[in-house]
Structure 1
Amino acid sequence: MALDMDINELLVIGDYDLLIHQVQGEWATKNDKILPYINLAQRFCKRFKKIEFRHTPRAQNEFADVLATISSMVQHPESSHIDLLEISLKEKHAYYSYMEGEPDGKPWYNDIKMYLEKREYPEGITSSQKKTIRRMANGFFLNKEILYKRTPDFGLLRCVDVVKATKLLEEVHAGTCGPHMNGFLLTKKIL
């Protein structure tokens, strides 16, 4: 694609160090299956005036992982046209965003709780939505009035509404729960 766009200088950033060194010819390729791809990449490299390869560890390459995930979810037409993807970077992580109140005044987990309590669904929902509620309810546990979300390690996370969640986040960020705790201790303290 870069060649089709008449790009003369290219910076290639990859998280697979072995592949980068193989394409640059610094390391030998032992896998016969990947050899044709390495040879093709090396031929393409010769067509650029300047090409630089840079290794970035996967942990520092979150942006590329997100783009790859988005790309795998998009259905590409059979044409060579690629729609531009506009990306704006936020200054804060998503978990810093302000939580808004629920539009209907009920907590986000109300439908799941109602299903677990009374085996009833909200009025006017489709059979597909009912199936989703049943599927989601499998991951929750109701103890009297308190709803918990089951975690993969058999822990239980208490479900709270937006008012309680905001209060908890303010306390955590203010240091009310105590300083310098690991995630496990902080979770126990909050619960």
Structure 2
Amino acid sequence: MELDMDINELLVIGDFDLLIHQVQGEWATKNEKSLPYVNLAQTLFKKFRKIEFRHTPRAQNEFADALATIASVIQHPESSHIDLLRISLKEEHAYCCHVEAEPDGKPWYNDIKIYLERREYPESITNGQKNTIRRMANGFFLNKEMMYKRTLDLGLLRCVDAGEASKLLEKVHARACGPYMNGFVLAKIIL
């Protein structure tokens, strides 16, 4: 695409150090499956006036991951013109905007937890609200101080308040739990 757009100078940023060194010819390519790709890349980059390769560790490559995700869902237009993509950087991660603190400072499941512990309702609620709490409590399980929600497959999901949810999201999005893990392992770590 860069050649079609008459780009003469190119900066390639990658998080796979081995591949960058192989394409530059600094290291030998031993994997026979990747050899055709490396040869093609070496042929293509000779067509540029200037090309530079830069390695960026995966942990610092969030922006490239986001761009790759966007590129994978946008269909490439038939014309050689691609509209400019405007990107604005936010002060905090997007997931921080989705965890709302409880207005009364109590966890969202507080009324259900009190009902399961003591069979008591909050003060000044209607009979309809009492019925709702009682009906919802059937889907929850209380083990000492930990509250769990039963799933259809008889699993248990731990209930967390807004503060703990924010910490878990930060851990997951910072890949503190490990890079590129599958959903099952990630769920076990969170739970």
TM-score, scaled to structure 2: 0.52
Unpaired stretches in structure 2, ≥5 consecutive residues: 114-132, 151-155, 168-191
Identity of aligned residues (%): 68
Q: Distance in 2 between matches of 1:8 and 1:149?
A: 58
Contact in 2 for aligned 1:8/1:50 (Cα 8 Å):
yes
Contact in 2 for aligned 1:148/1:159 (Cα 8 Å):
no
- C-alpha deviation, 1:76, in angstroms: 2.7
Unpaired stretches in structure 1, ≥5 consecutive residues: 120-139, 170-191
- C-alpha deviation, 1:157, in angstroms: 5.3
- C-alpha deviation, 1:108, in angstroms: 6.2
Structure 1 27/86 Cα, relative in aligned 2: closer, same or farther at 3 Å?
same
Other structure's SS at 1:43 match: helix
Q: Does 1:117 align with 2:116?
A: no
Aligned to 2:7: 7
Aligned to 1:35: 35
Aligned residues between the structures: 138
Alignment of structure 1 residues 1-191 onto 2, 5 Å: 1-72=1-72, 74=73, 76=75, 79=78, 84-94=84-94, 116-118=136-138, 141-142=141-142, 147-148=147-148, 158-160=159-161, 165=163
Other structure's SS at 1:39 match: helix
Contact in 2 for aligned 1:12/1:53 (Cα 8 Å):
yes
Structure 1 75/55 Cα, relative in aligned 2: closer, same or farther at 3 Å?
closer
Contact in 2 for aligned 1:149/1:159 (Cα 8 Å):
no
Q: Distance in 2 between matches of 1:46 and 1:24?
A: 11
Letter in 1 for 2:58: R
Query: Can you list the C-alpha shifts for 1:92-145, whole angstroms capped at 9, x where unaligned?
Result: 33466596578xxxx7669x99675246xxxxxxxxxxxxxxxxxxxx754599
Q: Distance in 1 between matches of 2:91 and 2:68?
A: 22
Alpha carbon RMSD of aligned pairs, Å?
4.4
TM-score, scaled to structure 1: 0.52
